């Protein structure tokens, strides 16, 4: 039984270059156009993906527990976590900024971690899920991942803009570093996951019928 989906380039011994996208015989080992290494599938894709997802999950804990910003108002310092900062911004009437931080800091990273874990599990365990649905989910996950750093930029902008002398200051907290780590690691996890593995499972299921 072939390890690859019938009719795919891999089943015919062809590999696509990940640099210039030229399709060449895998036996060449190097792309004849740009010289990059050729591989039919990303090596240890599932193992690296789950390792990065676990790392991101661990980093997400201090990102939410530690203060992401410190508000100094009339000489009094108030440390705010991500959700605490959202509540504080709502209290001050900054609803659009609060919504952006909540979506980018809570909804986006949690959704990406859940989706990537589901994709890994469905491929690893061969879950009976529509392959097109999984492909769509992967594309959506890649798309929303591009906006994961929005809240970090928002905090930096607030630090730069809200400096009203001794009346009000906003300073970045240690959680910003942890959260930046979460964003970077989840992006690496998405890049490490080889979506072609989903279609290889489809080929195996078709051959078994």
pLDDT tens readout for residues 8-28: 666 667 777 767 877 888 777
User: CATH no. for residue 201?
Assistant: 1.20.140
CA atoms within 13 A on the CB side of 161: 6
Q: Residue 208 pLDDT > 50, yes or no?
A: no
Residues 93 and 80 in one domain: yes
Residues 3 and 23 in one domain: yes
Q: What is the pLDDT of residue 163?
A: 60
Instruction: Name the phi and psi angles at 34, rounded to 5.
Output: -115, -10
Which secondary-structure segment (H or E) carries 76? strand 76-80
Q: 25 lies in which domain range? A: 1-40
Contacts 24+ apart (CB under 8 A), 116-123: 116/49, 116/53, 116/141, 116/186, 116/189, 116/190, 116/193, 117/50, 117/53, 119/193, 119/198, 120/46, 120/49, 120/50, 120/53, 120/193, 122/198, 123/46, 123/197, 123/198, 123/201
Q: Which of 69-78, 114-123, 195-204 has the highest mean predicted lDDT (pLDDT)?
A: 114-123
Q: What share of the chain is helix, strand, coil (3-state, %, to 5)?
A: 60, 10, 30
Q: For the chain, how many structural domains are there in total?
A: 2
pLDDT tens readout for residues 44-82: 888 999 999 999 999 999 988 888 777 777 777 778 788
Contacts of 73 (CB under 8 A, 6+ apart): 167, 168, 169
> Is there a contact between 182 and 80 (Cβ–Cβ < 8 Å)?
no
User: How many other C-beta atoms lie within 10 A of the C-beta of residue 207?
Assistant: 11
Tokens 């676990």 label which residue? Answer: 54
Residues 9 and 83 in one domain: no
Percent of the chain at pLDDT exceeding 70 = 73
Angle at CA of residue 68, ends 64 and 70, nearest 5°: 135
What DSSP character marks residue 78?
A: E
pLDDT tens readout for residues 74-97: 777 778 788 887 887 788 888 887
Residues 148 and 168 in one domain: yes
Q: What is the pLDDT of residue 9?
A: 64
The rounded radius of gyration (Å) of the Cα atoms in the chain is: 22
Residues 116 and 186 in one domain: yes
Q: What is the pLDDT of residue 57?
A: 94
């Amino acid at each position: 039984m072939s390890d690859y989906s019938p009719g795919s380039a891999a089943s015919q011994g062809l590999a696509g270059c990940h640099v210039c996208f030229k399709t060449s015989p895998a036996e060449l080992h190097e792309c004849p156009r740009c010289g990059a290494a050729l591989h039919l599938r990303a090596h240890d894709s599932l193992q690296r993906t789950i390792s990065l997802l676990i790392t991101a999950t661990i980093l997400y804990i201090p990102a939410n527990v530690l203060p992401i910003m410190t508000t100094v108002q009339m000489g009094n310092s108030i440390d705010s976590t991500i959700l605490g900062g959202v509540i504080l911004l709502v209290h001050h009437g900054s609803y659009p900024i609060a919504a952006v931080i909540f979506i980018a800091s809570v909804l986006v990273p949690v959704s990406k971690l859940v989706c990537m874990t589901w994709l890994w599990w469905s491929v690893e365990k061969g879950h009976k899920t529509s392959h097109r649905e999984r492909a769509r989910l992967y594309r959506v996950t890649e798309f929303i991942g591009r906006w994961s750093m929005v809240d970090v930029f928002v905090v930096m902008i607030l630090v730069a803009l809200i400096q009203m002398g001794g009346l009000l200051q906003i300073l970045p907290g240690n959680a910003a570093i942890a959260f930046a780590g979460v964003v970077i690691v989840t992006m690496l996890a998405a890049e490490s996951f080889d979506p072609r593995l989903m279609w290889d499972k489809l080929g195996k299921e078709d051959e078994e019928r």
